Chains A and B, each alone.
Chain A
Amino acid sequence: MEAQTRFDLNAAIEKWRLELAAQPNLGLADQRELEAHLRDTVAELQRRGLNDEETFWLARRRVGQPQQLDEEFAKANPENVWRDRVLWVAAAFLAWRLWSDISMVTIGVTLHFIHNAAWANASFQLFQFAPEWVRFYLPPTTIQVSRMVTSPIVQTLVYYAPVVWLAVCLVRGRAQNVSS
């Protein structure tokens, strides 16, 4: 009994072509050229006596994964690479602006709550007259917390956190490239 469905070579190539079309750096002419290449490879493998399915998968592997092809073509088109870079820089700038606004609002709201919390004032008054060494062992009071939050150093750190994070990522990426 023949339960297996017949492999449709043309449909498989058509599907592969759609995968190529989904890649951002492969133009219509590139896709057409790569398809001609795949079909040439298929024809050669068929001459060697392989069946349609084996032929297709082997040819597909030889020509390369659509994503891999896209990367190779992107490298050869510097203008596309630059377009992507400009877009990334713009996106990063907007994200940073958004972050800085959010962090400023967050700090403002936090301060408002700290200043208005009754327990904060109470605990501050309670230990206000305690000797210095007693206060030393107490957890940082809310006053200190509020002072910390409002200190320009902390604010600057929060403000530039994404930039620092990005720099750390870049340095680590570079270190990995060097080591590999």
Chain B
Amino acid sequence: MLAKDLVAASSKPLVLSILADGESYGYEIIQEVRELSGGHIEWSDGMLYPVLHRLEREGLIDSEWKEADTGRERKYYSLTSKGGKTLAVERQQWLKVHNTLCKLWKLKPVSI
């Protein structure tokens, strides 16, 4: 399991990256993160919504209530253009950290 502060710090790039692939809703985002991380990043359900609302206040994502195929309504989130730009910056910064650690640990860095 990932340390608490790392979970908090990585929530922004993770959410923005998932939404870069298309709109999604809270439940689906949590499932996707769990699957992609192989269960290592376990978000509590109550934690995600405040993060989503904060990103929306910052203008990085938009939200809209829509009827799902189940007939019930869900709040869907999508990336804004400002969110796309922020994601590009976040990506650069995370990869810089990643590459520095890779060099120290004699692993192959990725191209930024």
Chain A residues at the B interface, C-beta cutoff of 8 Å: 29-30, 32-34, 36-37, 39-41, 43, 62-64, 68-69, 72-73, 75-77
Contact = CB atoms under 8 A, between A and B. Distances in A.
Main secondary structure of the interface of B (DSSP, over half): helix
B70 A37 contact: no
B27 A75 contact: no
Contacts of B73: 32, 36
Given A43-B70, A64-B46, A37 B27 contact: yes
Given A29-B75, A73-B50, 19 more contacts: A30-B49, A32-B73, A36-B25, A36-B72, A36-B73, A37-B45, A41-B27, A41-B45, A63-B45, A69-B46, A72-B44, A72-B47, A73-B49, A75-B50, A76-B50, A76-B51, A76-B53, A76-B54, A77-B50
A20 to B, nearest CB: 11
B84 interface: no
Interface of B: 25-27, 44-47, 49-51, 53-54, 70, 72-75
B57 to A, nearest CB: 9
